[in-house]
Structure 1
């Protein structure tokens, strides 16, 4: 007996394929949604973690800025204390400046030069006096410029000719002068002495180097 299938099997096959295709699409959509959701959650977690780290860093930065301000304030206070200490030391050292000034003037005044008035303002000393000649004034300027560790930068303000009465009938021509000179502080004198010693040491070392080279060459010969 022959059986003939009169049902639309091709339509049924197409229907099954469509159903399978739509099922696959549904599964793919669900899988894509799950993956996208997982990725979104992961990224959100990473963003939240980074924001927490950023917040922590910002908090630490704020603390560091506060500490830096405190350090800056401390440095300013230290600088102010050092300045006060230096001022006190300068004041203590300056108590002996009049002694050094008078001592140096006695040492540096050439014969024939007389100081009539002496005035000091801070570290500038104004000298007024008389000299037997202009050459004596020039000699005093040279002595003050190069011969004293306490006096520096002499400046001749003026020099005028004048007369001095030695007896009722005896007069002598003199040179009346006014000059300024700077009186150094004890700290400045110490620095200048240290610089001079360093320069002398460097010069002696430089002079000894060629001599050593000459000795070495002589030994080789």
Structure 2
């Protein structure tokens, strides 16, 4: 019987299988390394994009904060302007209020009564002057009382004094000025 020695063939075959297995192992390791490198590169790119978006959002946030600051400043300016306009309106109203008051007093004052001083104390007026007689002061007080612009007329002082050798009465009246709504209501009732 012929004997064939298969040992070198088996050894060669094993070496060939070992080389194949090593090649496959190296290929798998290289493929895994390439996949890991690709995944790392992809996540690095995503991280860079996210950092760029974060910087853009932070810049937008800064811009919005500046705009909000400007809006708050505008709100402050608007309230300041409104406050100043109210002051101007109140002053304008007071100017005409004083004008109306003086006009009304000039219409009501009798010929034999002279005013020396009108002291405005807000709602109260103090009228000081001279009159020919007590009766002239009483007539003046009655006219003030009948006016829609005044109320609570009170005689604080009346003295007899000599001026230029003539006897006159020096007087001081306290008058309360009605507000514009009460004056308008009184004028509406009188119409």
- TM-score (norm: length of structure 2): 0.51
1:71 matched to 2:77: no
Residue 188 of structure 2 is matched in structure 1 by: none
Q: 1:82 to 1:3 in 2, by over 3 A?
A: same
Q: 1:87 to 1:183 in 2, by over 3 A?
A: farther
Structure 2 spans left out of the alignment, 5+ residues = 105-117, 127-147, 151-175, 186-191
What secondary structure does 1:95 align onto? helix
1:57-206 superposed matches below 5 A: 57-97=57-97, 99=100, 121-122=121-122, 125=124, 184=179, 189=181
- Residues in 2 aligned to 1:53 and 1:95: alpha-carbon distance in whole angstroms: 62
Structure 1 spans left out of the alignment, 5+ residues = 104-117, 128-147, 152-180, 194-221
Residue 13 of structure 1 is matched in structure 2 by: 13
Q: 1:8 to 1:92 in 2, by over 3 A?
A: same
- TM-score (norm: length of structure 1): 0.45
Residue 28 of structure 2 is matched in structure 1 by: 28
1:55-82 deviation digits (Å, cap 9, x = unpaired): 1111111011111111111221121112
**Shift of residue 7, structure 1, vs aligned partner:** 2.8
**How big is the alpha-carbon RMSD for the aligned residues of Structure 1 and Structure 2?**
3.8
1:42 matched to 2:42: yes
Larger CA Rg, structure 1 vs 2: 2
**Shift of residue 39, structure 1, vs aligned partner:** 0.9
**Shift of residue 50, structure 1, vs aligned partner:** 1.2
- Residues in 2 aligned to 1:27 and 1:4: alpha-carbon distance in whole angstroms: 37
Query: Residue 120 of structure 1 contacts residue 126 of structure 1 at CA under 8 Å; is this kept in 2?
Result: yes
